[in-house]
Amino acid sequence: MSNSTSSTLTYFILEAFLDVGPHLKYLCFVVIALLYVVIVLLNVFLVLVICMNRSLHEPMYMFLCSLFVNELYGSTGLFPLLLTQVLSDVHTVSAPFCFLQIYCVYTYAHIEFCTLVVMSYDRYLAICHPLQYHSLMSPSKIVKLIALSWLFPLVESVLGIFSNVYTQLCGNLIDKVYCDSFSIVKLSCSYVSTSKYFGIAYMLTVILGMIVLILYTYIKILIVCFSGSKQTRQKAISTCTPHLVSVINFSFGFFFDIFQSRFDMSHVPSVLRVILSLYYLTCQPLFNPLVYGLNLTKIRSVSKHLVSGKL
């Protein structure tokens, strides 16, 4: 079936899984399962911390709450299938489930970038316009920004998924350990190599546009910091550093995955390719709660009280 022409494929084969012995297979399963459990516990815990404490019902923490919910969403779109496939000898996935995973992974990445843009805008207002901050960042505006950062990716991604669903496919081999949108595009009977450049141009336009917005806000923040007091600089460093590190970390993993999917990376060891392709889907959901939970004093303080039973 992998070489036949069909527009109604019922399943796909994930061929990037390595053939390993049973002992190593179970070890990989335990490591991945532990990673998933830690990600879920950390993100759920921080969502509860923010929701349960009124002192954290501020714009920055509400946007963080949205970010942590997205980490849970993205992780759930990846880990259950990944854990199932690690133990399986035949790495097949049904077509409907494959397209569902593509939608989850695709929307997760877009929601992540949108939320990071909104968070940078929030920091820009807080540091560059502190006197007008609460009037500019009203509760209704917070709700609108969070809703927009979720609804736009969720709706926009439907169009791309539908175009893949109704595309005539000439194969069912996906060279990854999870279902990927461009992998389906490459299976299209009408696929031409120039298609990858259109995809890259679109992704770079959208994602780089968001990154440019983030950089613009940070340039403005830096200008205020250098011309402001020591207290202003300390506030900017404490609240902006975790956000900036998160943007860099996620962008690295995301762009590597884009270029790996579209260009020949056969010179890179297969194990390293698999790890790096999973980087932004596994490390970011673990990275964000650790960075924000450890670096933001208010969250750290409330978390300690919650753990000790004093809240």
* Structure tokens given for 213: 């917005």
What is the predicted pLDDT for the residue at 21? Answer: 65
Type and span of the H or E element at 13: strand 11-14
Say how far apart CA 75 and CA 68 lie, in whole Å: 11
User: Which positions of the chain have pLDDT values less than 50?
Assistant: 1-7, 311
- In this prediction, residue 3 carries a pLDDT of 42
Determine how β-strand 11-14 pairs with β-strand 92-94.
antiparallel
- In whole angstroms, what is the distance from residue 258 CA to residue 201 CA? 11
Query: Would you tell me which CATH number, out of the four given (1.20.1250.20, 2.40.50.140, 3.40.640.10, 1.20.1070.10), belongs to the domain 11-308?
Result: 1.20.1070.10
Query: Rounded to an integer, what distance in angstroms lies between the CA atom of residue 51 and that of residue 276?
Result: 34
Amino acid identity at 60:
M
State both tokens at 83: 């854990």
Strand, coil or helix: what is 256? helix
Amino acid at the residue 102? I
